[in-house]
Amino acid sequence: MKPKEREHIYIVPHWAGLVFGFLVLVVFSISFVDSGLGWVRTLGIVLVIAGIVVLIQSNENLRGVEVVGCLCAPCAAGDTAMLELSLFKRSADETIGLKVRPRSRGVRHAEMPVPVMFRGVTTHVRIPVPAPRRGRFPVPQIRVSSVMPAGLCYAWKSFTGLGDYVVYPAPRGRLLGDFASAGNRAGGGVRVGGEDVSGHQPYLPGDPISRIDWRVFARNGKLVSRSRDGAGSGEILLTWGDTDFLTDPEQRLEQLSFWVDQCTREGRRFHLLLDPAGDPISGKDLVACRTALAEFQTG
C-alpha cells in the first residue's frame, strides 16, 4: 500500500539563512542612508535574487522524493526496532544531502544521512526506533529533510501511514530442561490443521488442569491431558498453562518468549498455544509466534 504523503514541501530559514537575511537588511539600510551609494543598493537587489534562487533550489532538491515502503522485523521489548525504509526518487534532478528521521513526541531520534539520490533508484535506510514495551505500534511519522544546496533554507517532507511494527515480550525466565516430566508421556494426538503434532495422555489425578484438552472433552466426554512432547514426533507444545508457576501475566509472556527463543536457538521443533480454544502456531513461523505473544490480551 502506498504510504500517505503530505503533499507540501515545507521551507523555513536555516540559521545561515537568518544571517543572510540580516546581511541583506544591513546592505539596504546603508543604501537608504547614503543615496550616493547606488552600487550598494544594486548589491542588495542581487542578494535578494540569489536568496529567491536558493529558495527555489531547496524546494527542487526535495521534489520527487518518496518513502515507498517500510519493513520491520519483530523485536524484543527493551531493544531497538530497526525500520527498513525504502526511498524512491521520481524527478529528473538528483537530490543531495538528505537526512531521514522518525518523529515521536518526547523521544529524540538520530538523523540518518542519504548523501545522494538519483532518478528511478531506490535507496534503503535503516532507522532505529525505541521499543520500550510489547505490542503492535504504528510507524511514527517519517521526516525527510535537507538544507542543501546552499544551507540557507531548511526544507522537509513528512510521510505517515507506513504500517506497524511488532514488539514481543522480552525473553526472560527459566530454561525448559530436558522435558523428562510426567506431563511428557506419549499418548494420542492433538490436531493442528488436521495433523497430529503433539501427544495426549489420559488425565490422571495430580495432572495440571491447564493441560486438559477441553475440545476433546466437549467432543467425546473424555478427560485427556496434552503432553509437551508428542509420541515420536519430537514436537514441544508450549502453552499458557505451562507458566502457572508465575503470577504476573507479563512475566508469563516473557517466560514463553524465552522458551520460544530457546527452542529456536537449539533447533527444537515446537508449537505455541496461547488460547485453549484456538490452534497452536508452528514454531516454523517464528514471526507469527512472536506476533501472537506481542498482541496477546492478558485482561
Summarize pLDDT for 188-205 with one digit per residue, the tens: 333 333 333 345 666 666
Alpha helices (H) in 137-244, listed in sequence order = 214-220
Contact indicator for 101, 131 with CB cutoff of 8 Å = no
Distance CA 42, CA 24 (A): 11
The single-letter DSSP state of residue 107 is B
Residue 224 pLDDT > 80: no
Residue 222 pLDDT > 80: no
How far does Cα 287 stand from its chain's mean position? 13
Contact indicator for 170, 77 with CB cutoff of 8 Å = yes
Distance CA 203, CA 59 (A): 72
Only one residue has cell 508465575, namely 246
Q: What's the whole-model pTM score?
A: 0.71
Higher pLDDT, 215 or 52: 52
Q: Which domains does the chain have, with CATH numbers?
A: 1-167 (2.70.50), 182-295 (no CATH)
**Cα pseudo-dihedral 125, 87, 85, 8, rounded to 10:** 120
Other Cβ atoms within 10 Å of 58 Cβ, number:
24
Tens-digit pLDDT profile for residues 84-104 = 999 999 887 888 999 999 887
Provide the pLDDT for residue 202. 64
Distance CA 183, CA 207 (A): 7
Tens-digit pLDDT profile for residues 162-191 = 999 999 999 999 888 644 332 333 233 333
Strands 190-192 and 141-146: unpaired
